[in-house]
Amino acid sequence: DAGVIQSPRHEVTEMGQEVTLRCKPISGHDYLFWYRQTMMRGLELLIYFNNNVPIDDSGMPEDRFSAKMPNASFSTLKIQPSEPRDSAVYFCASSPPPGQGAAFFGQGTRLTVV
Amino acid sequence: GENVEQHPSTLSVQEGDSAVIKCTYSDSASNYFPWYKQELGKRPQLIIDIRSNVGEKKDQRIAVTLNKTAKHFSLHITETQPEDSAVYFCAPTGGSNYKLTFGKGTLLTVNP
C-alpha cells in the first residue's frame, strides 16, 4: 500500500475561490480524519468518518467547510468561499478503529489563500 | 470528549541528555497510547505506542510509560541526538473515545 495519498500538495488560490482537497486512505482502514494545522492552533480535528459516514463534524470551523466520503477509497474537503484565514496545512489520516492501531497521515496539502 | 494535555510545550536539551514529555488525558476508557513525531515540514508519524495492559515499552533509545490510575503516559528519549529535534504529539484513544484528538505538541530541540 502506498499509504495515505493527498492531493494537491500545494494550493494557492485567491480569496473567494472554491478549494477542494482530496484524500485516498489506506485500504482496509475504516476511519478517516481531516485535520488543519497552524502554528497558533496546532493540529485541529475538523471531521472524521467511520465506514464512509461522517461521525463528528464539530471541529469544522463554519459552513464554508464541507467534507464528503462517497466511498471507502476517497474523501474530499471543500472550502467555499475561501478566506485568507483558511491558510494552513490540511492533513488527512486513516486508521483502524481507534484503540486498535495507529493513524497514518498523508503528506498534507499546504493551502495559501491570498 | 477526551481532554489531552502535554507538558512541557517546549523542551531544549543538550545532545546526549535525556528528554521526558508527559501526556495527561481525561477519558478513563482510553486503552491505546501512541506518540507521534513530526519533523519540520513533514507529516506526523508514529514512533512508539503502548496498550493499557502494559506499563512500559522500550524501543532502542525511546520508551513509553503508562500510569492508567493517574491517567498519564510519558515519552522518554535517552542519549538525544540532533535528529530527535521535532514536535512530539500524544493521542490517547480507544474504549469510548473514537475521536483522534492530539495534544498541542511539544517542541523538542536538541542542541549539538
Nearest CB to B101 within list A45, A93, A99:
A45
**Does the CB of B32 have a partner CB in chain A at under 8 Å?**
yes
Q: Do B49 and A45 touch (CB under 8 A)?
A: no
Nearest CB to A45 within list B45, B46, B100:
B100
> pLDDT tier at A98 (50, 70, 90 boundaries)?
confident
A81 alpha carbon, distance to own chain's centre: 17
Mean pLDDT of chain A: 95
> pLDDT tier at B29 (50, 70, 90 boundaries)?
confident
Mean pLDDT of chain B: 93
- As a whole number, mean pLDDT of residues B24-28 equals 91
Residue B60: other Cβ atoms inside 10 A: 9
What stretch of H or E contains B3? none
- As a whole number, mean pLDDT of residues B76-87 equals 98
pLDDT value for B110:
98
- As a whole number, mean pLDDT of residues A57-62 equals 91
Residue B62 carries which side chain, given as an amino acid letter?
Answer: I
pLDDT of residue A84 exceeding 70, the answer is: yes
Name the residue of chain B whose CA is nearest to A33's CA: B100
**Does the CB of B95 have a partner CB in chain A at under 8 Å?**
yes
Name the residue of chain A whose CA is nearest to B105's CA: A42
Out of A6-10, A75-79, A93-97, least confident range:
A93-97
Residue B22 carries which side chain, given as an amino acid letter?
Answer: K
A31: β partners: A50, A95
pLDDT value for A40:
86
More confident residue, B96 or A45: A45
CA distances from B85 to A35, A44, B38 (A): 23, 22, 9
Chosen from A43, A51, A55 to mutate, greatest number of chain B CBs within 10 A: A43
pLDDT value for B99:
81
Q: Do B98 and A100 touch (CB under 8 A)?
A: no
Interface of A with B (CB under 8 A): 31, 33, 35, 42-43, 45, 48, 50, 55-56, 91, 93, 95, 97-108
pLDDT of residue B2 exceeding 80, the answer is: no
pLDDT of residue B97 exceeding 70, the answer is: no
pLDDT tens digits for range B41-76 = 999 999 999 998 888 999 999 999 999 999 999 999
pLDDT tens digits for range B102-111 = 889 999 999 9
In chain A, the DSSP E strands lie at: 5-7, 10-13, 19-24, 31-38, 42-50, 53-56, 65-71, 74-79, 88-95, 104-105, 109-113
pLDDT of residue B1 exceeding 90, the answer is: no
More confident residue, A36 or A39: A36
Nearest CB to B100 within list A33, A106, A107:
A33
CA distance A22 to A67: 10
**Residues A20, A38, A94: CA angle, nearest 5 degrees:** 55
